[in-house]
Structure 1
Amino acid sequence: MKFSDGYWLTRDGFMINTPKEAYDHRIDGRSLTVYGPVKDIRKRGDTLDTGMLTVKFSSPLEDVIRVQVFHYKGRTRKKPDFELCTTDMKPLITEDAGTLTLQSGSLSVKVDKSSWGYRFSREAEKLTGSAPNSLAYISADDGRTYMREQLDIAVGETIYGLGERFTAFVKNGQSVDIWNRDGGTSTEQAYKNVPFYLSNKGYGVFVNHPELVSYEIGSEVVSKAQFSVEGEELDYFIIGGSGTKDVLKRYAMLTGKPALPPAWSFGLWLSTSFTTDYSEKTVTGFIDGMKERDIPLSVFHFDCFWMKEFEWCNFEWDERFFPDPKAMLSRLKEKGLKICVWINPYIGQKSKLFDEGKENGYFLKNGRDDVWQWDRWQSGMAIVDFTNPKARDWYCSKLEGLLEMGVDCFKTDFGERIPADAVYFDGSDPEKMHNYYSFLYNKTVFDLLKEKRGEQEAVVFARSATAGSQQFPVHWGGDCFASYDSMAESLRGGLSLSLSGFGFWSHDIGGFESTASADLYKRWTAFGLLSTHSRLHGSESYRVPWLFDEEASDVMRYFVKLKHRLMPYLYAAAYEAHLEGIPVMRAMLLEFPEDRTCDWLDRQYMLGRSLLVAPVFQKNGAVSYYLPKGTWTHLLTGKETEGGEWKQEQYGYMGLPLFVRENTLLPLGDVSDRPDYDYLDGVEFCLYHLKDGCSAEQTIYNEKQTMTIKAVRKQNTITVKTTGVQKKWRLILRNHPSVSTVINGASEALQEGTAIQPKEEHRDVVIFF
């Protein structure tokens, strides 16, 4: 929200009050509180009839500083609040003649005692700061009040994140409102709004307000990242660390780490699509068609019309098309499939559940204590009140019946169109609940799946989200169009979401709205199968590949099987996301923070640490992409390329820029027909261009077992050692000259690309050039 009128003036209807000096302070051992009157205090009489801002600095985690600002501290803070994980941290607080300092790890804040302002630094390096006139209490003529902060943006500094945003990847120059909306992927609106941004300078800012947070990122004042909230207080965190990855780790420690999705969820999902006609015969035809074409399928999804029209949600199968759903699901599961069904948190008035929910007080209410209703989406629909424990239990009881029938997971659609004037069971502030509703909704469903299916099996396919929702994967990108433009905006949204703390992300292959050309479908297939999760879903038409052309089936088969072979690598990256909060799909700047070209790249990404993916966004197959410095090897062709420059190439449908980073041990599984198998058994480690003095290490996971392999090169010798569970594995050298190996004293000459296959009892291999 903008309050100024150019540099000199204030917009009509607002009065901006800023602290003039650090008049006094208090140190209590764990926090530093500074008092800033909003006028200059020259004599005792100046202390009368004036406002003052109270600013409290503390540290909930190492390298994290919390800033709490109050105008009127006595106002009751209504629910909800983000669920935060904090420690009993005691920062170092010091005072000298000119400054007050609070230090947490390598991160510090220094307050200028002589005037007003504070700066945040990592060691001696300034990260950002609040200058005089930046922090403000603002009153409006209509009686509303606001708190505003403006943090410095340095020359060359770029800002990212703020949720899944489909606008420009770099947020500098943008105005962003953190307010969930069902706006598709082609507008400034977003399904997943997260009040957290990340800077390429290696720090992050999390605004601890579930309600509307209004950002002006270099837009109102071009050298400031401004954020404001309505009310009498402002609460935000500066998150430091050793770099951008470390910032994301600490953000995950604060707001929650992603759960680990089950291995089967990484396979191909096929949907009935939205408004298409379908029955068990249609579904079986699609599934059998995939099998006939040797396209492995992992999950089948039933979208909205598995229930009768006008009755969403009643959680009952439409008996006109599915007369015996339990038997049907049993038949589908015999084909090796997992089952997903569409749900949302709305109950249409025609649903037989409406009266039940109304009588028991399970729905949001309006100011007259009536059920809040409207006709958008479902006629007379009500919204389940997840702040009511009994309503949660009631909602879950309906889902339990589906789980008992054979359903494995749920597509938790919607959750964005939540009224800001409703009354909640627990008295929550409806403005704060608008975004936070998505958290409660998905948490309710995810927790049920953990309880009934086990922690290792829980997964949802969610559209709406806010801070903390990363704990309940997976999230998909919403309603995109069947166009190259929309494919590109979907990727921008996914990269922004990944820089907002989300580890897993998907999108509708081929686009949701309209029907893609065969060309676009095949290009999007490669992109979709090189995302963490892969789904075929549309609106008014089916998405099975042979309806586009038979070559589409060939492309689908090729990339599904490639993804399955990559699963030991992808699942290891998923473990990293789960344990540390580092996303699987990574913006280039995360892996190459020193390469300034990577700051702006939004048409390519790293899949895990070692694979670079650049989808093709043109009909003629032309693609322009950037390789950072180093030696890169194309995974599919084996061609070696030196980086540090832009490349322009042309690809057929069976290829795209897919490069392996130097000094990589890439694990490939020996199974291509399914994503869930024993990744430790029969794994093939490909060692790519290990340079002298460097090492490559890879840990792979299979349920509770792990195996770690490490290769170290010193001049003309590579030593390979393994630890952990020992099963059948082999090593292949890529981009190395002819070598010989020694295994338990036996020497053998090998050519480039020959597999080195130790016996089961062998853990170490020595390779001589």
Structure 2
Amino acid sequence: MTQLFNHLSLLTTKPALADFAFVETDFALRIEAHAPGVFRFRCLPAARLDNEKLSTRAKALSDMLLARHEAVSEFQLEAADSGWRIEQGELVLLIQANPWRFEIRRGEQLLLSSAEQPVTLVQEPNACWQLDLALAEEDALYGLGETLGELDRREETLDSDRPNDRSLPLLWSTQGWGLYINTFERVEHDLGQQDLDRYRACVHAAELDFFLFLGDPSEIINQYSALTGRAGQPGVSPMGLWLDGAQAQQDIQSLRDLANQCREQGIALDVAVLPPPEPYDFQQDKPALEWNAARMAEPREAFSALQNDQVQLAAWTRPCVQAGTSLFEEWEDRGWLLINDDDGCAHVFPGDELSGGRDYGLLDLTHKDVFRMWTERQRQMVDDGLGAVLCNARFDIPDTITSRGGESGALLRAIYPVLARQALFDAVAGHKTPQEGVVASRDLSPSSQRFAWQLGPQVENTWAGLTESLKSALASGNSGVPIQIHGWGNAAASTSEMTPELYLRWLAMAVFSANFSLQGIPALRPDAFDEETQAQVNHWLEWRFRLVPYVLGIIEDAVRTGLPVQRSMAQSFPADSQARLWDTQYLLGPALLVAPILQPGQEIEVYLPEGEAWWDLSTGWRYEGGTTLKMSVGLDRLPVFGREGHMLCLGPVVKHTSEFNSARLLDEVWMFGMPEHSPVVMRNKIRVMQMQGSSYIKGLEGLKILPSEGLEVKRRGAEVRISRAR
């Protein structure tokens, strides 16, 4: 049975919401002014309008989706010739009553309109809502998760319950609108594949609940993250160099030996990752986590040695218990594991790489006692010295399992990785003020943006693999995930095509990113290459540590704004249609434009977005935007341009994050034209004020200042004045 909705009548209106009835149906439409530039639409049974009290479980799920439930804005509603006009600032939502349609305008500009039939409900065999929006010819569509191909997702189809689609729920257009469908249930997206002029979402849920964001992409991501939750931040140590262990079953001593070998070659590591399988697990008969004795016999001594080495340990973990143990049987009896509906027995998942080939059961994290227990056990490991945890928890959970919370099917598959990461984040950072810690994962699921530290994809050690690693970070950033850590190559792939040139180009891109990890296998370590290549590696690693104050400042901003570290050209310059075509260039934070070299040779073309001026970091030359440059770039260079009006604050030359002096985090300040914006930098206390054609800056005491050509610097006490040279 298909339910059509053609005719609206107004029921009630308040400053923040309006309720409408779908005439001749049992359903209603509620529209909220949820925040400035944000409208919420809900299609639900009319009987629920006056009974919005949620069950405990439904509220828990809602809290996992939304960080801000209450509307914080208002609108004005008035009758119009054919329906109603809702004004929110300069935005106008026009609703046609019969047949029902809507469109949103800013002044005379049409931002978004519905299709002829905005909403349809297919009620058999299960409820499935269809939301249809009209697509303009100019709509370029971004977000919706990770892609290794074109960042513009138009003409694609995606399914949130299909793991290979790597989907996330935020979609936005360069035309000034964004969409978030507020559900953990399965959502199928058709971005114009069947009909180029229509976007369709099929939402397998009891009600249709979606948010429309109006603004440029940065505003949309800001509003989306404010609505759905923002990330905590890492400390300084995770911003240093990571090392992925060399082989499966590697023990802690050989990992330390590997780290020390790197240090002898001038490469100091901050975080070392014990490779799979999981190096600690529950005891077979007790609900206590313990380290695998073959890999870490004396944990206290091992962590003490790592502390002396100034290396933090990261390790893989998952909410599992080994099948066939007495603890598995005890938790099966207590209902603490995911249970098969048909026989009431715990479901046994086949062994995999992370479990070391051993079959296992999954803890039912929807059970609050199980969630609390697992969090507490993980916190004990952190208190013992574990620095960061890595967890892939998107499992192929059969439809024949219903959790203690009542979830099953696509819903359970979606919320399980969220619960796993939330429990781990509570263990690592939840007891700290402010919350600070790293929980990394390759999984993507709703709420991924709350945990920030995303691991990049497993790619081939080829030029194409380098491009895919970059595009995955930009696509995740378009979807609201602020941080991706790149692999510097991939230890699991063939290394036959990893030339010194590719190795250095990969490193140069990774240096100008959130962070990256050195692969521990011999073929992907710097000492596998010639001395000249190793010298270039040290050159780029020196740059990396100088950039740490800037990059960590971007991440601190992400906690406040949700904006990613690596920002696509479409996200940063949506009005520049030419810029969108250069989709392997990106902004690193607000100040730097980076153009990685993704093919052999030294020749590259770089597009500088219009409306801005850009300063080449290597030469200091200024270029007007809207131009394309042809450049020849050696292995010791990367095309990076400073954005006019911004500043770049660099740290001192160090080899390790422990060498940062908290009293002197910065060493130099590079200026790109007359400073207009306060710089992005960790623990920022630098402020810019403009007056009478000059910039006055406080917070640069003791720093070397490199002004752009044509500017002069004058110091007076704690204040620096930048003015035109006479």
Scaled by the length of structure 2, what TM-score is found?
Answer: 0.89
Q: What is aligned with 1:588?
A: 569
Q: What is aligned with 2:237?
A: 264
Q: What is aligned with 2:579?
A: 598
| Aligned length, in residue pairs | 702
SS at match of 2:171: strand
Q: What is aligned with 1:754?
A: none
CA distance in 2, matches of 1:429, 1:105: 42
Kindly indicate whether the alpha-carbon contact (under 8 Å) linking 2:382 and 2:427 is maintained by their aligned counterparts in 1: no
SS at match of 2:487: coil
108-117 or 642-651, which deviates more: 642-651
Q: What is aligned with 2:425?
A: 446
CA separation of 1:403 and 1:145: change in aligned 2, threshold 3 A? closer
Deviation at residue 71 of structure 1 after TM alignment? 6.2
> Deviation per CA, 1:176-201, whole angstroms, max 9, x where unpaired?
111262x4xxxxx21xx322101101
Kindly indicate whether the alpha-carbon contact (under 8 Å) linking 2:103 and 2:113 is maintained by their aligned counterparts in 1: yes
Q: What is aligned with 2:92?
A: 108
Q: 2:111 aligns with which of 127, 136, 147?
A: 127
> Deviation per CA, 1:740-765, whole angstroms, max 9, x where unpaired?
55444xxxxxxxxxxxxxx6x44546
Q: What is aligned with 1:575?
A: 556
| Counterpart check, 1:697 vs 2:690 | no
> Deviation per CA, 1:56-103, whole angstroms, max 9, x where unpaired?
212222221111123686799974332340334443222133221233
The 5-angstrom pairing of residues 680-719 of structure 1 reads 681-690=665-674, 695-702=676-683, 706-710=685-689, 714=693, 718-719=694-695
- Percent sequence identity over aligned pairs: 21
Kindly indicate whether the alpha-carbon contact (under 8 Å) linking 1:695 and 1:712 is maintained by their aligned counterparts in 2: no
Kindly indicate whether the alpha-carbon contact (under 8 Å) linking 1:200 and 1:599 is maintained by their aligned counterparts in 2: no
632-641 or 89-98, which deviates more: 632-641
Q: 2:267 aligns with which of 292, 295, 298?
A: 295
SS at match of 1:225: strand
The amino acid across from 2:698 in the alignment is T
Q: What is aligned with 1:720?
A: 696
Kindly indicate whether the alpha-carbon contact (under 8 Å) linking 1:146 and 1:231 is maintained by their aligned counterparts in 2: yes
Kindly indicate whether the alpha-carbon contact (under 8 Å) linking 1:679 and 1:701 is maintained by their aligned counterparts in 2: no
SS at match of 2:445: coil
The 5-angstrom pairing of residues 446-485 of structure 1 reads 446-452=425-431, 454-485=433-464
SS at match of 1:441: helix
Deviation at residue 695 of structure 1 after TM alignment? 2.7
Kindly indicate whether the alpha-carbon contact (under 8 Å) linking 2:7 and 2:99 is maintained by their aligned counterparts in 1: yes
Q: What is aligned with 2:227?
A: 254
CA distance in 1, matches of 2:409, 2:212: 27
Deviation at residue 231 of structure 1 after TM alignment? 4.2
SS at match of 1:32: strand
The amino acid across from 1:244 in the alignment is P
CA separation of 1:306 and 1:419: change in aligned 2, threshold 3 A? closer
| Counterpart check, 1:509 vs 2:501 | no
Q: Which runs of 5+ in 2 are unaligned?
A: none
Q: What is aligned with 1:35?
A: 21
The amino acid across from 2:291 in the alignment is W
Q: 2:468 aligns with which of 478, 489, 499?
A: 489
404-413 or 70-79, which deviates more: 70-79
Deviation at residue 513 of structure 1 after TM alignment? 3.0
CA separation of 1:165 and 1:646: change in aligned 2, threshold 3 A? same
Kindly indicate whether the alpha-carbon contact (under 8 Å) linking 2:678 and 2:686 is maintained by their aligned counterparts in 1: no
Q: Which runs of 5+ in 1 are unaligned?
A: 1-14, 38-46, 184-188, 745-758
SS at match of 1:133: strand
The amino acid across from 2:87 in the alignment is Q
Q: 2:299 aligns with which of 293, 312, 325?
A: 325
Deviation at residue 314 of structure 1 after TM alignment? 8.4
| Counterpart check, 1:373 vs 2:356 | no
Q: 1:424 aligns with which of 395, 403, 420?
A: 403
Deviation at residue 285 of structure 1 after TM alignment? 2.6
CA separation of 1:358 and 1:589: change in aligned 2, threshold 3 A? same
CA distance in 1, matches of 2:573, 2:452: 26
| Counterpart check, 1:171 vs 2:180 | no
Q: What is aligned with 1:87?
A: 70
Aligned Cα RMSD in Å? 3.0
CA distance in 1, matches of 2:469, 2:524: 18
> Deviation per CA, 1:713-765, whole angstroms, max 9, x where unpaired?
83xxx443216xx742232113x14x655444xxxxxxxxxxxxxx6x44546
SS at match of 2:555: helix
CA distance in 2, matches of 1:542, 1:179: 37
SS at match of 2:474: helix
Deviation at residue 579 of structure 1 after TM alignment? 0.9
> Deviation per CA, 1:244-283, whole angstroms, max 9, x where unpaired?
211111111111122122122111110104x445334422
CA separation of 1:136 and 1:310: change in aligned 2, threshold 3 A? same
SS at match of 1:398: helix
Q: What is aligned with 2:547?
A: 566
The amino acid across from 1:34 in the alignment is F
CA distance in 1, matches of 2:95, 2:426: 44
CA distance in 1, matches of 2:723, 2:522: 56
Q: What is aligned with 2:538?
A: 557
Deviation at residue 666 of structure 1 after TM alignment? 1.3
341-350 or 149-158, which deviates more: 341-350
SS at match of 1:422: coil
CA distance in 1, matches of 2:503, 2:607: 24
Deviation at residue 641 of structure 1 after TM alignment? 4.2
